[in-house]
Each structure stands twice: as C-alpha cells, then as structure tokens.
Amino acid sequence: MARLTAIVLGSAAGGAFPQWNCRCPVCDLAWNGDPRVRMRTQAGIAVSAGDGRWTLINVSPDLGQQIRATRALHPREWRGSPIDAVVLTGAEIDQIAGLLSLRESTPFTLYATAASHAAVADNAMFDALTMMKKCAVDPGGCFMLSGGIEATLFTVPGKVPLYLEGENPETDGESAANVGIELACGGARLVFVPGAAAVTGAMRERFARADAVLFDGTLFTDDEMLRSGLGKKTGRRMGHMPIDGEDGSLRAFEGIAARRIFIHINNTNPIHIAGSPEHRKIEAAGWQVAEDGMEIVL
C-alpha cells in the first residue's frame, strides 16, 4: 500500500525566521543561536506516495536552500529531478518565487487556479521556465499527482497577493486567489492550509475527516504586529486568523481529532520559542509546531 509522506521544507511565514531586517525579541534569540528557537525557512512542503517522485506544494524564495538540505529531492541521474510537479495555494511571493530555483530545462507541471496562473504570468522572469507545463485546476475538482495521490484545492477565506492588493482589499472573502489543498492516498488524508482568515463549516468538515492538518500559524494574537511596532496591520487584514482568542484557530479546531500542526509562522510569533507560555498553550491543546525537515508519514 502506498504511504503518503510529507516533508516540511520550510515552516516560517514570508520573510523567514529570523527575518533579514528584524531584531525583535523572538528574532534576537535566533540571531544569537539560542537553543530554545530553530531557524525556519519560508513555508512549503513536499509530498510523495513512496514512488520516488515528489510534488512541491508552494515554492518560497528559500527553495534552493531547501532542496539542497533535503536528500529525497536530490537528483539521481545525469540530468533530472525527483520533483515532477508544483502546486500553488496562492500567488504570494512566498508561494511562487521558488519557481525561479526550478529553471535550467527540467520539465515539471505547475498546478494552480487560473487566478494564481495569471499572477505568475505577470512576471517576465518566469518566462525562463521554458519546460514548465501549466495546468489550471478549479477549486473543488480532483486532479492526480505522481504515485496516485488525489489532490483537491478548496477555497479558503483570505485575500489576493500583497503585490496585487488595491487600497482596501477584501480579506475574508473566498476566491480562487487563496485556497487550501487536500491530498488523499491509500486511505490517508492530509490537508495543508498555510493562509486562512477564518475556518468555515466546509473547512471543518475536511479537517474532521483528515489524518493530519498543517494549518496557518502566522500570528499568535491578531494585534501582534501592531503591539510589536513592526507592522500596521492586524492578522486578519493580512488574511491570517490568529491562533489565540475567541476567533482563533485553537477554538475553531476544538473537537477535530486529526494530528494538528501549525505552519507558516511569522517571526514575531512566540510559539517559535520552546517552553514559552504560548508554545505550552498550543501543546496543551494538542498542536505541534512544524519544523524544517519534519517528516509526516500517514
């Protein structure tokens, strides 16, 4: 029986952890090499059914480093790669820029909604990817990845990419600009949602039947960026619901039995710090924090 395996290539939000221009108290621990924190590159996962071929879900600017650090993704022949597909759940820079590390004439298929394909096409640099085959998929439809993995994209409350925002973007509507993905193989189900402004009833149904959920852990509290003086937006304005609080993800996942793992963790989020009150709180609620290199075998 094929086993569904996911490798966490990166677990941080856009900007990575520590972030190049930040010496907030959480980043400071990382720059100082404090053992309570781990460096984390920007979020993305690789999935396989055990046949030696891998699909990447979201490709961040850190993809080159992530491939070099992940033996399963190293080439095994004169020219070629175990990576034969990429799926996007959106077109933020931290979801698409890694395509630039997949150039040099090896073919692969890019699966994304028409909205995300259009955002990618608005950047001339990607024209260098002459061997990339584009495949548009609609939320709700099922498509097959290598090894017989059934993939389904589904809409998630959120917003369009930052660089395509107008003055007052809608941040809690559901559209094909921001989706989650469900992967099914051999009876196992994995759901990956790196950005969500809210959890809908339909999303809860997917989580309830999953074996594992990797979910948006960007901010611990909605006003975290404001209080730290590092940003002018709430989490919701950025399209990310907080972990804590009445409308947070801890509350929204109550009663869900799946293995639950936070991913896409912003540099300001104290769950980066092992043993912090916030880290203890999410552990007490049955959650883990994703780490670069973590393997999830279902």
> In the complex, which residues of this chain contact a copy of itself (CB under 8 A)?
14-16, 18-24, 27, 31, 39, 41-42, 61-65, 67-68, 73-81, 83, 93, 96-97, 100-106, 119, 122-128, 162-164, 229-231
The nearest distance, CB 273 to a copy of itself, in angstroms, is 17
The nearest distance, CB 100 to a copy of itself, in angstroms, is 5
Q: Which residue number, 54 or 111, has a Cβ lying nearer to a copy of itself?
A: 54
* Entry field: residues in the chain: 298
Q: Which residue number, 6 or 96, has a Cβ lying nearer to a copy of itself?
A: 96
Q: With CA atoms as reference, report the closest residue to 180 among 208, 198, 155.
A: 155
How far from the centroid of its chain's Cα atoms is residue 81's Cα? 22
The nearest distance, CB 16 to a copy of itself, in angstroms, is 6
The nearest distance, CB 97 to a copy of itself, in angstroms, is 5
Q: With CA atoms as reference, report the closest residue to 218 among 40, 33, 14, 74.
A: 14
The strand pair at 287-289 and 132-136 is best described as: unpaired
Q: How far is CA 125 from CA 57, 109, 128, in A?
A: 20, 17, 6
The nearest distance, CB 221 to a copy of itself, in angstroms, is 19
Q: Which residue number, 6 or 97, has a Cβ lying nearer to a copy of itself?
A: 97
Contact between 62 and 101 under an 8 Å Cβ cutoff? The reply is no
Q: Which residue number, 96 or 196, has a Cβ lying nearer to a copy of itself?
A: 96
Q: Which residue number, 35 or 166, has a Cβ lying nearer to a copy of itself?
A: 166
Amino acid 103 reads R
Residue linked to tokens 């960007």: 218
Residue linked to tokens 């990576």: 83
The helix (H) or strand (E) run that includes residue 288 is: strand 287-289
Q: Which residue number, 35 or 76, has a Cβ lying nearer to a copy of itself?
A: 76
Spatial separation of the C-alpha atoms in residues 264 and 10, rounded to whole Å: 8
The nearest distance, CB 132 to a copy of itself, in angstroms, is 12
Angle at 297 between CA 88 and CA 18, to 5 degrees: 55
Spatial separation of the C-alpha atoms in residues 197 and 200, rounded to whole Å: 10
The nearest distance, CB 164 to a copy of itself, in angstroms, is 7
Q: Which residue number, 74 or 209, has a Cβ lying nearer to a copy of itself?
A: 74
